[in-house]
Structure 1
C-alpha cells in the first residue's frame, strides 16, 4: 500500500511541479516581452530563486524515484540526496506559510495556483514521500554538513552575481531576496551575513529532523 501511494505521490508531484514552474516562467517571459525585453536576464533571475531551484530538484528526485521504487532498497547516496531536497522543500514551506502567506502577490506577475504548488503542495508531497516511501537508508548526523552545503553555495552565488551582474533594466544589482541585498540592508554585509547564518541554522534544524526520520524505522525495529 505504501509503495502504491508513493508511486502516486511521485507521479503527481512531478507533474504538478513541472507544470507550476513552466507556467510561471512563461508568465514572466510574456510580461518581460511586453516590457523592456530583457528576457534572458529575467529567466536567469527566475532560476536564481532558492524556491525555484529547490522545486526543480524536487521534481528530479520525484521523477527518478518513480523508477527506484521497484528496488528493495535505495543507495545511501540517493537517500542523502532525497534527505537534502526534503530539507530544502520543508524549509520553503515553513518559511512561506509562517512569514509570507499574508503578503499580497504582484497582480499579473505571479500565477496564483503555481505559487501555491511551489510553496505549499510540493513541500507537503516531498515531506510525505520521505515519511512513507519504502527504501530509504538510515543516515548519520554527519550528513547534515552535506545538506547545509548547497544553501551556503547558493548564497555565495547570489552575492557574487549581485556584484558582478547589473540589472540591464535598472543598472543596479539584482538580488532574489531583499535581505540578501547589502545595498538596502541596515548594516550592509553584516546584516546579510546574519541572515545567511540564520537560514543555515533553520535548514540545519529541519535537516536534523529529516535525518532523524531516516533512522526512525531502524530504531523501531
Structure 2
C-alpha cells in the first residue's frame, strides 16, 4: 500500500481511470441496446425511446452513472486541493456515501441473484463484469483507502436510502405501462425479482424489496462507520505545543 502522501497524489488519477472505464462500459452497453433494437423484427422491440428509457431504468446503470459522477467530482476536488490537507467537504462525502452504497449493493445483488442469467447477445462480458464487479470493487476500495475522508453523522444513512426508495416506486408504477421488448408482454420489469408475474404476486416481490432495503441500510451504515473511523483518525493531529489541535478535539461529524 502506498504511503499516505503518495496515495493522496495518486488517488485522483485512480478515480479518473475508474470513471473512464465505467463510462466506456455504459456507452458500450447502450450501443448494444440500440443496435439490437434496430435489428428487431417487431415494432415493440425496436421502439428506440422505450429501449433507451428502459436502459436508464436499471438500478445498475443509474448507480454506475452516480459512481462515475462521484469519481470525476472527487478527483477534481482532490486535484484542486492537492497542495493542502483539507478534508473532503460534507457534500462530497455524502455523494461518495451514496455512490459507494449503491455500487457495493449492486455487486452483492448481482453476484447472489443475477449472475446465472445469460448475457449472450445483450451484453459484452467485459461490460458486464465492469458494471457489476469492477466498479463496485473500486468504490469499496475508495471507502477503505481514499485519503482525506470526512466523518459523517449517522443520519446521513437516511440520505443514501432516498434514491433506492424512489427507484423502486418508479419501477413498480412504470412497469405496467411498458411493453416488454423481449417477449411482448404488456409489462416490463428491469429485474426478475421485481416481477410479480415471476414471484407469485407482489408479496413475493415485497420480500425481495425488504431484503435489498436491509442490504442498502446495512451497507450505508458500514460505509458511514468506516468513514467515521477513518475521518476521526485523519484529524488526530497535534499542534506544535504538543496539545491536540481543534480539529482533533472536535472532529467534524456533520
Higher helix share: 1
Aligned to 1:178: 192
Aligned to 2:51, the other structure's residue is in SS state helix
Aligned to 1:9: 14
The C-alpha deviation readout for 1:18-44, integer Å capped at 9, x for no partner, is 100101110111011000321221111
The C-alpha deviation readout for 1:178-215, integer Å capped at 9, x for no partner, is 121223322x1222222111110011111110000110
Aligned to 2:179, the other structure's residue is in SS state coil
Name the larger-Rg structure: 2
Structure 1 unaligned segments of length 5 or more: list them.
Answer: none
Aligned to 2:101: 87
8 Å Cα contact 2:67-2:99 kept in structure 1:
yes
Aligned to 2:29: 24
Bigger RCO of structures 1 and 2 (CA < 8 A, at least 6 apart): 1
Aligned to 1:111: 124
Tell me the TM-score normalized by structure 1: 0.92
| Equivalent of 1:123 in 112, 136, 141 | 136
| Equivalent of 2:211 in 198, 202, 208 | 198
Tell me the TM-score normalized by structure 2: 0.81
Q: Distance in 2 between matches of 1:210 and 1:133?
A: 12
For residues 38-77 of structure 1, what are the structure 2 equivalents within 5 Å? 38-69=47-78, 70-71=80-81, 72-77=86-91
8 Å Cα contact 2:160-2:220 kept in structure 1:
yes
Between Structure 1 and Structure 2, how many residues are aligned? 219
Structure 2 unaligned segments of length 5 or more: list them.
Answer: 1-5, 237-254
Q: Give the CA deviation at 1:165.
A: 3.3
| Equivalent of 2:165 in 149, 152, 160 | 152
For residues 208-219 of structure 1, what are the structure 2 equivalents within 5 Å? 208-219=221-232
Q: Give the CA deviation at 1:45.
A: 0.8
More divergent stretch after superposition (15-24 vs 170-179): 170-179
- How large is the RMSD of aligned CA atoms in angstroms? 1.7
More divergent stretch after superposition (201-210 vs 128-137): 128-137
The C-alpha deviation readout for 1:71-115, integer Å capped at 9, x for no partner, is 3222212211110110110111122234433x1533222111011
